[in-house]
Structures are given as structure tokens and as C-alpha cells.
């Protein structure tokens, strides 16, 4: 994940910027030779691979939490969130019997608050202003 976390550069202490200013859209970095084109079939990229292409401005404060761990433990057999979240933010830790949350890779889609957890057991907010995902293309 090409994460940027720069203590000096926290949006909190920085004046808001006018849109229209130059952004982080990089000049095209050139196209790498693709193993597939050379005849090697490739397994589909993992979600971690996919997220590696996404730029994030990491917040130190998580913006996601589980409301009631007991519901995950006892009521929810399928652990739906581990499938419905498109960024695989949620993992079932079978030893500890709890959901762990990698909020850093959250794409802020809102699935987990809109039925992605059928028990409505996830508290999802947006990260603070300026933090979180920063699409270059979108």
C-alpha cells in the first residue's frame, strides 16, 4: 500500500486547499512488460495486490469498529463482512474469536453499513477530512 503518513502534514493543522490545485496524478510511469503477454498465465491478483495500487493518506484514528463482539462470535456463522467488504478490511481471527479490522485499506464505500453486515453490527464513519483513500483516476 503506497501509504503516506506524514506527521508534519496533517490536514488538521494545514489550511484547507482550493480544489483546482495540482494533485498527485503522476505522469504515466510506463507500462511494464506483462508476464501474461509473454505466455505465462497469471493467478488473479489478490485484494492486497489490488490495494497496493491505491493511494491512501493514512489516519492514525480508526474510523471503523464492531458494535458488539458477541454477535460476531455467537450469532453470525458466515462472517459476512469478510466477504462483502471489497477491500477485505475484516478478518475473522479464529483463535481469538473476533473480527480484526484493517481500516487502513478501507475504500470508504459504505457496504459494511448498508447490509454488508446483515446484523448491522459495524459502526462505519468516514475518516477525518483529508484522510483515507485518494483516487488518482476514480
Partner 1 sequence: MNAGQHKPGANGTVPSRFDAIVVGGGPAGLAATFTLASAGATVACLERGTWSGSKNMMGGVIYSHPTANVFPGFWREAPLERLVTRRDMWFATTDSAIKASFESADFGQEPFNSFTVYRSRFDKWLAAQAAAAGAWMVTETLVEDLLQENGRVVGIRSGRPQGDLEADVVIIAEGVNPFLTEKAGLASCPPQAPNVALAVKEVLALPKEKIEDRFDLEPGAGAAIEIIGEITGGLPGTGFIYTNQDTISIGVGVLLDSLVDNVTEAYSILDKFKQQPQLRRLIQGASPREYSAHLIPEGGYRCMPQLYGDGVLVAGDAAGMVNPINSEGANLALLSGQMAAETVLACRRHGSFDRDALSLYRQQLEKSLIIKDLKKYENATPFLASHPQLFGLYPELMATIAREFLTVDNLSKADKEKLLLRLFRSQVPARRLLKDLFDAWRSLT
For residue 38, the minimal CB distance to partner 1 (Å) is 9
Which range binds partner 1 by CB under 8 A, 16-24, 67-75, 90-98? 16-24
Query: Which stretches of the chain bind ligand SF4, using CB under 6 A?
Result: 64, 66, 71-72, 76, 79-81, 85-87, 89-90, 99, 106-112, 116-117, 119, 121-122, 124
Buried b (16+ CB within 10 A) or exposed e, 9-24: eeeeeeeeeeeeeeee
Q: Which of ligand SF4, partner 1, none has residue 72 at its interface (CB below 5 to 8 Å by kind)?
A: ligand SF4
134 contributes a contact to partner 1 by CB under 8 A? yes
Q: How many Cβ atoms from other residues are within 10 Å of residue 95's Cβ?
A: 5
Q: Which residues contact 131 (CB under 8 A, 6 or more apart)?
A: 11, 57, 58, 59
Binding letters toward partner 1, positions 71-110, x by CB under 8 A: -------x-x--xx-xx-------------------xxxx
Asked whether 60 and 12 are in contact (CB, 8 A), the reply is no
Query: d(Cα 60, Cα 44) in Å, to the nearest integer?
Result: 31
- Residue ranges in contact with partner 1 by CB under 8 A: 11-12, 14-21, 23, 25, 28, 31-32, 34, 36-37, 44-45, 47, 50-51, 53-54, 57, 78, 80, 83-84, 86-87, 107-111, 113-116, 118, 125-130, 132-138
Amino acid at each position: 500500500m503506497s501509504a503516506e503518513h506524514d506527521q508534519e502534514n496533517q490536514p488538521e493543522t494545514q489550511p484547507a486547499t482550493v480544489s483546482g490545485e495540482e494533485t498527485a496524478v503522476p505522469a504515466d510511469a510506463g507500462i511494464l512488460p506483462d508476464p501474461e503477454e509473454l505466455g505465462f498465465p497469471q493467478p488473479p491478483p489478490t485484494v492486497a495486490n489490488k490495494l497496493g495500487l491505491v493511494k491512501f493518506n493514512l489516519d492514525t484514528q480508526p474510523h471503523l469498529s464492531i458494535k458488539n463482539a458477541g454477535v460476531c462470535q455467537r450469532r453470525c456463522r458466515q462472517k459476512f463482512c469478510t466477504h462483502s467488504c471489497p477491500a477485505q478490511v475484516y478478518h475473522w481471527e479464529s483463535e481469538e474469536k473476533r473480527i480484526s479490522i484493517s481500516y487502513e485499506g478501507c475504500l470508504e464505500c459504505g457496504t459494511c453499513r448498508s447490509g454488508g453486515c446483515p446484523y448491522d453490527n459495524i459502526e462505519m464513519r468516514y475518516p477525518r477530512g483529508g484522510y483515507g483513500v485518494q483516487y488518482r483516476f476514480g
